[in-house]
Amino acid sequence: MIPETFLENLLKDYPNAPGFYDEVFNEDKYIREHYLKITNHLSKIRLEDFQNMNEYARRSSFEQGITFNVYSDTSQGVERIFPFDLLPRIIPAKEWDTIERGLVQRTLALNMFLKDIYNEKNILKDKVVPKELIFSSQHYSKFMMDFVPYAQTYVHISGTDLIRHSDGEYYVLEDNLRTPSGVSYVLSNRMATKRILPTLFFNSNVQPVVDYSESLLEVIKSVAPQGVDDPVCVVLTPGVFNSAYYEHALLALQMGMQLVEGRDLYVDHNFVYMKTIHGPKKVDVIYRRVDDEYIDPLAFRPDSTLGVPGLITAYRAGNVNLVNAPGTGVADDKAVYTYVPEIIRYYLDEEPILKNVHTYRCEKEDDLKYVLEHLNELVVKPVDESGGYGIFIGNKASQQELSDFKEVIRANRRKYIAQPTMALSVHATYIEESGMFEPRHIDLRTFTLSGHHTNYVCKGGLTRVALRKGNLIVNSSQGGGSKDTWVLQDE
C-alpha cells in the first residue's frame, strides 16, 4: 500500500532560493510567523485533496469566464485562463500600513503634477523636471492643456507595481495611470479562496477586498459635473475582443452600471447621450477602458471605431467627466518615473515613503554610456509599453543579442530606460509538473482610488507569479499566474 502524502511533506522538502527574499521561509528555512497558521492548516491536507482543490479552482475560473486574451502578430487573440495558486501571499498589518501611506502619497503628488504640467508648468519652469522630457512624451495630450477636470483629479484609478528586493524592502517598479487592469482577478481570487478554504480564511483576520467596487462607484459619482445630484455613469469597453473584457463586464455588473461600447453613445450639443429603448439618456461620467488614441476619432485617430465622436469637446465643456483623464500616460512614462521622488518633494514637501528602483535614462549621455557598458547586467524597458512587452533582460541574452540591442537603443534613446536586475522576492507556489511547492518570483499590483474628497486603497492587490522557473516577468501575457493577497488586520 502506497503511503499517503500530506502537504507537510512537500513543505519540508521546499528548496532554498539563495540570493532572494523568500516571503514564506526565513534564511534558516523556518516558516515566518505570519504564515504559521496557514501552513499548519495546509500541512494536514492530503496531496490528492489539494490537487482536487486546484482542479476545482481551474474549472471554476473557466466556467465563470475568468480569462484574458494574449495578442500576437499572427492572430487577433488567444483566450487563456489566468492560473491561480491556492497558497496565498500574506502581508502583516504593519507592513501594509507603510505601503498604503506610500501609495496615497504617490497618487496625490502625481495628480498635482498632472494639473501643473497641463496648466501653470511651475515644476518645469523651476527645472525640477526637464520640459523636454514632458513635451517629447507621446502621451502628453494637447487636448488637456489649459484645462482642469472637476475635483482637480486626473488619476482616479492608479495601479502601482511593487516588488520586494533581496534587502527585504519594497520598491515601486512602475506606475500605471491610464487604464490599469487586474482588479477583477483580485476579486475572483478572493472568492475562490473563500469557497475552497473557508474555515482557514474566516479564522485568519484578513482585510476585505470586496468593498473595491463600492468604493470605485463612490469615486466615480464624486467626480460628476457640478450640479448633477444623481449622475448617470457607464463603463466604456472596446468590446469582447479586448484582453480585459471580463474585468469590464464584472465591474459594470458589481457597480450596477451599463456596460457600453462607443456605438452606444453619441454627442449632441456637447452633451453625451446613451441610446436606450426608452430614448436618449444623458451620461455624466464615463469610466472608460478605451485608450486615449481611440476614444474620440475627431480628436485622436480618425479611423477609430471604438470611441465617441465629439467626446473630448463635451469633456472640455465640463458636461461629462472621464475616468481616468486623457493624457495621464505622460506621468507613467518610465522616463518620468525617475523623477517621482523629486515630484513628491516638490509638491508635498515630504520624503517619499516608497522607494524607486534606480533607473538609467538612455537619453542622458552618462546614463547611455553606463547602459551600453553594462547591458548584460541590466533590464531595459521601453518607456511607453505595458504588459511586459518589449523588455530586454541582459543576463539572458547572447553576445549577438546584446550587440543588436545596443543598436536598437542608439537608434531611439528617448524610448528606453534601464534598471539593475532586481532580485524579486520568491513565494512557495504549487507546481503541477513536479507535484511540489517551489519558489517562484512574485510582484504586487496595488489599486488606489482618488475622487472628490475621497481616497481608497484596496487592501490586497494582485500578487502576480512568474510560473516558469527563474523567470522574472510576472505578467499574465507572458505566462504568469496569480495568488490571493491577504493583508492581515492589526491585532
Does a cis peptide bond (omega within 30 degrees of 0) precede residue 324?
A: yes
| Cβ contacts of 126 within 8 Å, gap of 6 or more | 346
Average pLDDT over residues 42-64: 86
Q: Note the pLDDT tens digit of each residue in 148-171.
A: 999 899 999 999 999 999 999 999
Q: Note the pLDDT tens digit of each residue in 427-454.
A: 999 998 888 999 999 999 999 999 998 8
Percentage of residues in the chain having pLDDT higher than 90: 77
pLDDT band per the 50, 70, 90 thresholds, residue 258: very high
Give the model's pLDDT for residue 60.
Answer: 81
Tell me the three state secondary structure of residue 342: helix
pLDDT band per the 50, 70, 90 thresholds, residue 195: very high
Matching residue, cell 549577438: 400
DSSP alpha helix (H) spans, 118-211: 122-125, 131-135, 183-196, 198-202
Query: CA-CA distance, 293 to 266, in Å (whole number)?
Result: 18
Give the model's pLDDT for residue 343.
Answer: 98
Mean pLDDT across the chain, nearest whole number?
92
Q: Tell me which residue of 3, 169, 85, 56 sits closest to 438, measured CA to CA.
A: 85
Average pLDDT over residues 47-62: 86
Beta bridge partners of 84: 482
pLDDT > 70? residue 142: yes
| Cβ contacts of 20 within 8 Å, gap of 6 or more | 166, 423, 424, 425, 426, 439, 441
Strand 67-70 with 321-323, pairing: unpaired
Query: CA-CA distance, 172 to 180, in Å (whole number)?
Result: 15
pLDDT > 50? residue 88: yes
Could you tell me the three cell numbers for 447?
489599486
Query: CA-CA distance, 240 to 261, in Å (whole number)?
Result: 10
pLDDT > 60? residue 76: no
Average pLDDT over residues 19-40: 93
Could you tell me the three cell numbers for 167?
534587502
> Where is average pLDDT lowest: 48-62, 126-140, 344-358?
48-62
Burial grade of 203 (CB within 10 A; 0-12, 13-18, 19 or more): exposed
> Where is average pLDDT lowest: 176-180, 280-284, 474-478?
474-478
CB 266 within 8 A of CB 273: yes
- Cα-to-chain-centroid distance, residue 259: 22
Query: CA-CA distance, 304 to 295, in Å (whole number)?
Result: 8
Burial grade of 390 (CB within 10 A; 0-12, 13-18, 19 or more): middle
Give the model's pLDDT for residue 73.
Answer: 45
What burial letters (b/e) apply to 225-257, b meaning 16+ CB within 10 Å? beebeebbbbbbbbeeebbbbbbbbbbbebbeb
pLDDT > 70? residue 74: no
Average pLDDT over residues 296-311: 96
- Greatest mean pLDDT among 62-66, 72-76, 383-387, 416-420: 416-420
* Whole-number Cα distances in Å, 139 to 3, 88, 388: 61, 36, 19
pLDDT > 90? residue 64: no
Average pLDDT over residues 192-202: 93
Query: CA-CA distance, 409 to 124, in Å (whole number)?
Result: 26
pTM: 0.92
Percentage of residues in the chain having pLDDT higher than 70: 95
pLDDT band per the 50, 70, 90 thresholds, residue 465: very high
CB 192 within 8 A of CB 201: no
Beta bridge partners of 91: 487
Centre a 10 Å sphere on the Cβ of residue 78 and count the other Cβ atoms it contains: 12
pLDDT > 50? residue 372: yes
